[in-house]
Homo-oligomer: A and B are copies of this chain.
Amino acid sequence: MAIKQKRYFLPENELPTQWYNIQADMVNKPGTMLDPVTREPVTVESLSRLLSVESSRQELNMTDRWIDIPEPVQEMYKYYRSTPLVRAYGLEKTLGTPAHIYFKNESVSPVGSHKLNSAIPQAYYCKMEGVTNVTTETGAGQWGTALAYASKVFGLESAVYQVKVSYEQKPYRRSVMQVFGSQVTPSPSMSTRAGKDILTQFPNHQGSLGTAISEAVELALTTPNCKYTLGSVMSHVSLHQTIIGLEAEKQMEMAGEYPDIVIGCFGGGSNFSGISFPFMRHNILSGKKTRFIAAEPQSCPKLTRGKFCYDFGDETGYTPLMPMFSLGHNFKPANIHAGGLRYHGAGVIVSQLLKDGLMEAADVAQIDTFKAGIEFAKAEGIVPAPESCHAIAVAIAEANRCKETGEEKVILFNLTGHGLMDMAAYDKYLSGDLNNFTISDEDIEKNTTGLE
């Protein structure tokens, strides 16, 4: 009567000691990023005005397939890693599917999401380089929380700009960051030039990750001994997140299986890259045929409907210009509850991979994501983050397809975090007050005009 349970953990001595740098294996490398001022290709030197030197090096490293994880970072990883790989027997039973569904449960990290995987090394590198203060943006607050804690561990002061709509939708994220000792400001704010400019032009601006990045970058550039850190989009963040897929690879081996389909939700690409790249290397190097699906919101469809072009990572234009799929850096995403996915662009690696057909993308309507999330919660006991619900929705769709065809496909998705800070969104869904948001081709056209 009980549901069979199976979780796979790695023993401490089998935890990965290196991250996987997919840039070394890509046949078509990601396009060159350009300095926002000079329009020259960025260098470690120019990038490290903003980021730690080591993060800048990793960002531009196209040659080393494996990057050592520093020992103090490995030590901190041990505090919550390996995260469990879970066979979702409960969900399989609910769906009545012959598919084997697995999820990597990153929600067990002390801060509740995968974001800590990159917050720890970024904070560590800053500390090693003598930095005293770090800034960042956060949407739903998962990344901000992770950075707040990692900063505390390494004795850094942290300032977080949180997208205003998320700040208001889930006020307790702010409280968690404050418990960890972080300064949290809703964005756009009047504390930066970028924020002031945006608020002057759009007094009711609800905030976006692009805007919050502008503010955090500006603060870093104008504060002594202060660096900017970020939770997604850039290649070094994806690098750090490969710890997820590297563990999952070993854990799938323990389970005696290999995934036919790997799914991650998609905002800027951090968790999708993390779970996918280690498996994708076998597609690139050994001819494996695994499908990789990035699950993005219908309301913010940069991968499925965006334009491949050079664009800024932030609203004001402080970041390098990146060749990527984008909805335009002035795109104002709808107020969906998956705040971590409200971002206009896609990161240069994923953009290149999508262009080259090495991965796919699917968009999901907000209501469908919560429907999937509740199905998952009832079956597995974990209330998933609204972001994670996107991956779950796609996983369920694929599992239902297997039910039709009778195929026993192996589906692996990443559960990025829990949704315990997002219960207001679940309340809305349960009371029928949740909306879908679509955008028109004209809107996309308007925001990407002039970008090449």
Contact = CB atoms under 8 A, between A and B. Distances in A.
A424 B127 CA distance: 32
A267 to B, nearest CB: 21
Contacts of A426: 175-176, 178-179
B430 A111 contact: no
A3 B153 contact: yes
Copies assembled: 2
Contacts of A73: 2
A256 B346 CA distance: 49
A381 interface: yes
A142 to B, nearest CB: 12
Interface string A375-396: 0011011110000000000000
B112 A76 contact: no
Contacts of A72: 1-2
A2 B124 contact: yes
A353 interface: no
A175 B175 CA distance: 20
A423 B5 contact: no
A427 B170 CA distance: 13
A153 B430 contact: no
Contacts of A111: 381
Contact of A3 (B6, B9, B76, B175): B76
A420 B124 CA distance: 26
A108 interface: yes
Contacts of A445: none
Given A381-B110, A423-B172, A424-B172, A3 B179 contact: no
Contacts of A149: 381
Q: Which of A1, A7, A112, A380 has the most CB of B within 10 A?
A: A1
A79 to B, nearest CB: 4
B380 A110 contact: yes
Nearest to A72: B2
Interface string A328-372: 000000000000000000000000000000000000000000000
A78 interface: yes
A75 B6 CA distance: 9
B5 A179 contact: no
A154 interface: yes
A412 interface: no
Interface in A1-49: 1-7, 9
Nearest to A128: B1
A180 interface: yes
A240 to B, nearest CB: 15
Interface in A185-212: none
A111 B430 CA distance: 19
A202 B382 CA distance: 38
A127 B423 CA distance: 29
A152 interface: yes
A9 B75 CA distance: 17
Interface string A415-452: 00000110110110010000000000000000000000
A72 B72 CA distance: 41
Interface string A73-97: 1011011000000000010000000
A190 to B, nearest CB: 22
A411 interface: no
Contact of A430 (B6, B178, B424): B178
A78 B75 CA distance: 26
Contact of A427 (B7, B154, B175, B430): B175
B179 A378 contact: yes
A374 interface: yes
Interface in A123-139: 124, 127
A185 to B, nearest CB: 16
A266 to B, nearest CB: 24
B2 A153 contact: yes
17 contacts: A1-B72, A1-B154, A2-B72, A2-B73, A3-B75, A3-B153, A5-B78, A7-B78, A79-B381, A90-B153, A108-B108, A149-B381, A172-B420, A175-B424, A176-B383, A179-B430, A420-B421
Given A176-B383, A180-B377, A420-B421, 4 more contacts: A1-B72, A3-B153, A108-B108, A175-B430
